[in-house]
Amino acid sequence: MGKKGEGNRQRILDAAENLFYKRGYNQTSFQNISDATDIPRGNFYYYFKTKEDILNAVIDARVVSLSAMLSNYDAEVPDPRERLLMFTNVLERDSDDIMLSGCPLGTLSIELAKGDTALHDKSKQAFIVLCKWMEEQFDLMGLSNADELAIDLVSRLQGINVMANVFNDAGYLKRSHIEIKKWINEQD
Amino acid sequence: MGKKGEGNRQRILDAAENLFYKRGYNQTSFQNISDATDIPRGNFYYYFKTKEDILNAVIDARVVSLSAMLSNYDAEVPDPRERLLMFTNVLERDSDDIMLSGCPLGTLSIELAKGDTALHDKSKQAFIVLCKWMEEQFDLMGLSNADELAIDLVSRLQGINVMANVFNDAGYLKRSHIEIKKWINEQD
DNA sequence: GTCTATATCGAGATAGAC
DNA sequence: GTCTATCTCGATATAGAC
């Protein structure tokens, strides 16, 4: 048999991650998560003390999965510039979701910035991981202002995601990704 | 004597505009607006049929005030490039609010994108006004791809605002505004 | 571990007195 | 026009049976 409970915990986490993204954290109810998992509301409290606990666990899971993805690039792709280009390509793959719901990291952090400070701070973690990784890549490319380039790249990507979300414009998204990749190739 | 009621309507609108920005639309209650205005909850329904009606009126007011601001630039500043630089300077003036609560237009649209479609569509209106105006300025500057430049500029500004909001970083905000103004001056 | 029933609260909205 | 009292609903959270 084994740990069936951990399976339930993971299912709650997966459903919450998706719903927090598609509906927003505050607009996602336990009922929504229950409907998506067929796990009754009351059962959630066996795995998580509060709704905030679920959010913290979701962010932890995101940090882990993002870190794993980036480590994978480090292992599979020798050239740091190629790694950055590959990251941009992944965003292209998710462009439908981004047009509908924006950037998973950005929209969550923006939502939480308007509420509790502790949750907003927590949401920064994924951004910090991403920025640090990009800084490493620019550093490996021998660029002196790697920290500024990293935040500039994330900033550009966030801007693109916001506009894609506001206007639901696929053409703009496609064009911008080309521009971003051009920009990455120009840095030296 | 005159229309005291319209004064109340305006006070509700002003308080709602501020609270929707600082707390988010969904996280702002009638009680919050009541506390801010000293107008009892029940009275709101004399001026607005629903909470969505208040939001629609807030967005209408923003469109009017943004249009007025831009028309004022058109009247006061002859050079279109100077107008764009002046717009950027205004954002600099609001940088404390942006670090705390993000871009008033962007964060609202992002929040509404996760819910009702009609409200999200409504929230685009301010963006459309802004993009059109910027397009006009680039057009007056004799640039052929004015439409793309306009959305690129808004995109860059949105990215900056997101990062400033996520990281509460004043230094980044200041540096980015310089870069943006450099970019505006480079376009020809 | 799992599930049902329920407590408690605050939300948007309404009715009607003044 | 203004204000109070109240309705209804859905939210998070808890208690306790199985």
Q: Are A79 and B91 in contact (CB under 8 A)?
A: no
Residues of chain A positioned with their CB less than 8 A from the CB of B124: 166-167
Mean pLDDT computed over B130-135: 98
CA dihedral B41, B44, B45, B48 (to 10 degrees): -150
**Four-CA torsion B105, B108, B110, B113, nearest 10 degrees:** -120
Query: What does strand D contact on the protein, if contact means CB under 7 A?
Result: A 28-32, 41-42, 45, 49-52; B 3-6, 8, 39-43, 45-46
Shortest CA to C1' contact from A48: nucleotide: D13
Give me the torsion for CA of A26, A31, A33, A37, rounded to 10°.
180
Tens of pLDDT, residues A22-32: 999 999 999 99
pLDDT one-digit tens code per residue, B79-110: 999 999 999 999 999 999 999 999 999 999 99
d(CA A72, CA A67): 8
Mean pLDDT of chain A: 96
Which residues in B lie closer than 8 A to residue A100 (C-beta atoms)?
A: 113
**Global pTM value:** 0.97
Tell me the one-letter amino acid at A103: C
Of the pLDDT bands very low, low, confident and very high (cuts 50, 70, 90), residue B2 is: very low
Do residue A162 and residue B172 have CB atoms under 8 angstroms apart? no
- Tell me the per-residue pLDDT of A99-115, one tens digit each, with 9 for 90 and over: 999 999 999 999 999 99
Q: Which residues of A touch B26 (CB under 8 A)?
A: 24, 26-27
Are the C-beta atoms of residues A98 and A161 closer than 8 Å to each other?
yes
Residue A34, CA: closest nucleotide via C1'?
Answer: C3
Q: Which of A80, A127, A69 is nearest to A103 (CA)?
A: A127
Residue B21's SS3 state is helix
What separation, in Å, do the N-terminal and C-terminal C-alpha atoms of chain A show?
56
Residues of B in contact with A156 (CB under 8 A): 155-156, 159
B106 CA to D9 C1' in angstroms comes to 31
Give the DSSP H/E element, type plus range, for residue B60.
Answer: helix B51-76
Gap between the Cα atoms of B166 and A106, Å rounded: 8
Residue of A102, A148, A176 with shortest CB distance to B110: A102
Nearest-CB residue to B159 (from A109, A127, A158): A158
Chain A residues with at least one Cβ partner in B under 8 Å: 22-24, 26-27, 100-102, 106-107, 109-111, 113-115, 123-124, 127, 148, 151-152, 154-160, 162-163, 165-167, 172, 175-176, 179
Nearest to B167 among A26, A124, A179 (CB): A124
Cβ-proximal residues to B185 (8 Å cutoff; 6+ apart), any chain: B81, B85
pLDDT for A4: 53
Q: Which residues of A touch B106 (CB under 8 A)?
A: 110, 162, 166
Give the pLDDT mean for B62-77. 98
Cβ-nearest to A110 among B110, B123, B172: B110
Q: Which of A5-9, B4-8, B69-73 has the highest mean pLDDT?
A: B69-73
Are B155 and A155 an interchain contact pair (Cβ–Cβ within 8 Å)? no
> CA-CA distance, B35 to B157, in Å (whole number)?
33
> Percentage of residues in chain B with pLDDT exceeding 70?
97
Residues 6+ apart with CB under 8 A from A133: A70
Quote the CA–CA distance of A129 and A74 in Å, as a whole number: 14
Contact, B29 CB vs strand C, < 7 Å: yes
**Distance to chain A for B117, nearest Cα, Å:** 10
Which bases of chain D are contacted by protein, using any atom under 7 A from a CB? 1-6, 10-16
pLDDT confidence band for B4 (50 / 70 / 90): low
Nearest-angstrom CA–CA distance, A89 and B142:
34
